[in-house]
Amino acid sequence: MKRGFLIVLSGPSGCGKGTVADELFRRNDDIVFSVSATTREARPGEVDGKSYFFLSEEEFLKKVENDEFLEYASVHGHYYGTPKDFITKKIEEGEIVLLDIDVQGALQIKQKMKEVVFIFLVPPSMSELKRRLVGRATESEKDLELRIANGFKEISFVEEYDFFVVNDYLEDAVRDIEAIIKAEKHRAKRFKYIKDRVLGENK
Ligand code: ADP
Ligand code: 5GP
C-alpha cells in the first residue's frame, strides 16, 4: 500500500496560496486540503468546515489542551491550528495532503515529521503583494498593515523550505508545484511503498 505525504505551503498573506491551492485541487484528485481551525472571523463566502473550522478562543484552547493539533500558532492576532487525525488518516490512505500554514507552523512540523515537502510561495514583488491584498478587500486598513509587515518577516524564512515558487503567473506557479509533487512521488526512498507490487511475482 503506498503512503501519502504532506505538502506544506507557506508564503506572505495575499501572495496567492489559496488561489494556487484551489487550482491544484481542481486538477489533481489525489491532493486533499487539510482544513485548519481558526479563531478569526469568517470572510464572506467562507464555509465552516470547508475553508476553516471557525472556533471561539475557548473552543480552540480546549483542543490545544486535548492535543488535537499537529501544530498551532498565533498568526496576525488569531489562533490557527492543523487537526491531527485527518492528516494521519489521509496519509495512510495514500493521499497527498496540502497544508496552507504559516512559517511558525511549518517549523513545528519540520521538527516532528518526515516525508514532508516544504514549499514557499513568493510574490513577484512586495508592491504586487500589496496590490493583491488590497484588491482582495477582505481586511481592514489596520489588518492589512499587520499582514504586510508580517509578510516581510515571513519571506526571511524562505531558506528553511525545500523549494520556492514565484506566483507571478498563476499557471506557471501551479505547474511548478505539480512538477515538485511529481518528483516527490518518484523519490527513491518512497519505492519501499510499492516494492511488494513490483517484486511480488518473484516471491
Ligand atoms: P493568500 O491565500 O496567500 O492569502 P489569495 O489566494 O487569497 O492569497 O490571493 C490574494 C489575491 O491575489 C486574490 O484576490 C487572488 O485572486 C489574487 N491572486 C492570486 N494569485 C494571483 C496571480 N498569479 N496573479 C494575480 N492575482 C493573483
Ligand atoms: P488567512 O487568515 O489569510 O486565511 O490566513 C492567515 C495565515 O494563517 C496564512 O499565512 C495561513 O497560511 C496561516 N494558517 C492557516 N491555517 C493555519 C494553521 O493551521 N496553522 C498555522 N500555523 N497557520 C495557518
Q: What does pTM read for this prediction?
A: 0.96
Tell me: is residue 127 an annotated ligand-binding position: no
Nearest atom (ligand 2) to Cα of 52: 16
CA of 173, closest atom in ligand 1? 23
Confidence of residue 202 (pLDDT cuts 50, 70, 90): low
Residues in the ligand 1 pocket, defined by CB under 6 Å: 11, 13-19, 132, 135-136, 167, 169-170
**Cα of 201 from ligand 2 centre, angstroms:** 47
> Which residues, in sequence order, are CB contacts of 139 under 8 Å at separation 6+?
133, 147
The per-residue pLDDT for range 153-194, each reduced to its tens digit, is 999 999 999 999 999 999 999 999 999 999 999 998 887 767
Q: Is 18 within any annotated ligand binding site?
A: yes
* Atom 5, ligand 1: residue with shortest CA distance: 16
Task: Tell me how far apart the alpha carbons of residues 7 and 184 are, in angstroms, rounded to a whole number.
Answer: 10
Distance 20 CA to ligand 1 centre (A): 8
The structural domains of the chain, ordered by start, are 5-34+94-199 (3.40.50.300)
Give the bridge partners for 121, in sequence order.
165
| Sole residue written with cell 486535548 | 66
What pLDDT shows up at residue 196?
Answer: 73
Lowest mean per-residue pLDDT among 2-16, 33-47, 188-202: 188-202
